[in-house]
Structure 1
C-alpha cells in the first residue's frame, strides 16, 4: 500500500471504506487480479495525482466497484451511508453510472455522461484513474501476446469503446492534472486507433 493511501487511512471514513472493500471484493477478480488489488491501485494512483481530494472521494474510489460486487444493493447502500456518508455513496453511484454508457455508448448517453463528469468535483479525475489502471492491464497483455493484431481482434467490446475513451481524454485536457492526462494518453495511444471517431481519428 503506497504512502498516500497509508496516510489517507488515518481518516476513519477511508479506513471504513477499505474494510468494506475487503469484504465485498473477497472472491472476485478484476483484470486478472484480486478485486481489492484493483481498488487499491485505482485509489493510490488517483491520490498520487490528486492529493487534495476529500475523504469521501477516496472512500468512494476504494468502493467504486461495490455495486457489482456486494450481494445486496440495498444493504450495500445503507452500509456505505452509515460508515462513509451519503456523499461517498452519491459519488460511487455517479462513477458507476458510466457502466450504462459502456454497455451502450450511444451519442446522447455519452454526451449526458460527459456533462456529469465535468459537473461533479473530482469525478473526471476518478474516471481517468480507473481507466489508466484498466489500460495498463490491457496494453500489458497486448505487449505479451504472440500476435497483437489477433489479441485486439478478440477484444471487440473494448475496441468498440475506444472512441469514447478518446472523448474522455479530450475532456480531461486542461481539467485533470497534466501528468495524469499524459499518462492516460500514452496508454490509450498503445491501443488500436478507432476506425470511426466522429472526427479524424487521433494519430498514434
Structure 2
C-alpha cells in the first residue's frame, strides 16, 4: 500500500489525472516525467505517516510549471483546482529548482510541507542518477562528464544536514543513503582525473 493506492481522495485522483496530462511527452532522468512525480509522492508516504493531502498533491504536480502549456496561468489553475497551499508549495519547489542554477543556492528548511516534498524530490532524483551511472558500468566517467552535478553535491549534503532535525529519521537516512554513493563515485572520478594529469 502506498499513498497512491486506491481508493484515493478526489483531489489526489484529480492530481494524478492532471499530472498524466502535463507530464505527457516529457522525461526526467531518462524516464517519463510522470514516473518521477509518482515516485516523489510515494517517497513522502514511505516516511511520513498520514501525510497531508496538499503535500501529496503538490508532489504529484511539482513539475507542472515546467510542463503546462505556456498559455496557461499554471498557478491560477493550481489554486482554482487544489487551493492556495498546493500552489504555494509548488511555487516554493520551483524557486528552489531555479536557485540551483545560481552560485551558492540558499538552503531553506523552515517550511515543513515544502521540506518534505523537496527532500523526496532529491531522494528520487539522486537515486535515479546513481542508477543511471551504475548502468553505464563506468560510474566515475559518468560523473566526470557532469561537473555541474559534482558541484551541487556539497549543496545537497548541506541540505541534508540542515534538514535532518526537522525530517523523519528514516527520510533523512534515505537522503543520506542516496548521497553517500554519489559522493564516493565523484571522489573516485576526481582521483582518476588527478592521476591522469
Where on the TM-score scale, by shorter chain, does this alignment land: which range?
0.7 to 0.9
Match of 1:128 in 2: 119
Describe the shift of the 1:55–1:162 C-alpha distance in structure 2 as closer, same or farther (beyond 3 A). same
Deviation string, structure 1 residues 112-140 (Cα, Å, up to 9, x no partner): xx23x31x222112111111111111111
**TM-score, normalised by the number of residues in structure 2:** 0.86
Once structures 1 and 2 are overlaid, which stretch shifts more, 44-53 or 88-97? 44-53
Match of 1:85 in 2: 83
8 Å CA contact 1:60–1:91 kept in 2: the answer is yes
From 134, 137, 150, the equivalent of 1:146 is 137
How many aligned positions are there? 186
- Give the Cα–Cα distance (whole angstroms) in 1 for the partners of residues 75 and 140 of structure 2: 42
Structure 2 stretches of 5 or more lacking a match?
188-197
Partner of 1:192: helix, strand, or coil?
helix
What is the rounded CA distance, in whole Å, between the counterparts of 1:163 and 1:186 in structure 2? Answer: 15
- Distance in 1 between the 2:180 and 2:168 partners? 18
Following the alignment from structure 1 to structure 2, what is the Cα–Cα distance between the partners of residues 29 and 16?
21
- Kindly indicate whether residue 167 of structure 2 is the aligned counterpart of residue 176 of structure 1: yes
Given that 2:3 and 2:41 are in contact with CA atoms closer than 8 Å, whether structure 1 keeps it comes out as no
Give, in whole Å, the separation in 1 of the partners of 2:46 and 2:71: 30
CA RMSD of the aligned region, Å?
A: 1.9
Confirm or deny: 8 A CA contact 2:133 2:142 kept in the other structure: yes
Paired position in structure 2 for 1:14:
12
8 A contact 1:70–1:76 mirrored in 2 = yes
Scaled by the length of structure 1, what TM-score is found? 0.84
Provide the C-alpha distance between the structure 2 equivalents of 1:186 and 1:10, rounded to a whole number of angstroms.
30
Aligned ranges 1:1-204 → 2 under 5 Å: 2-7=1-6, 10-72=8-70, 74-106=72-104, 109-110=105-106, 114-115=107-108, 117-118=109-110, 120-192=111-183
The answer on whether the counterparts of 1:105 and 1:161 sit within 8 Å (CA) in structure 2 is no
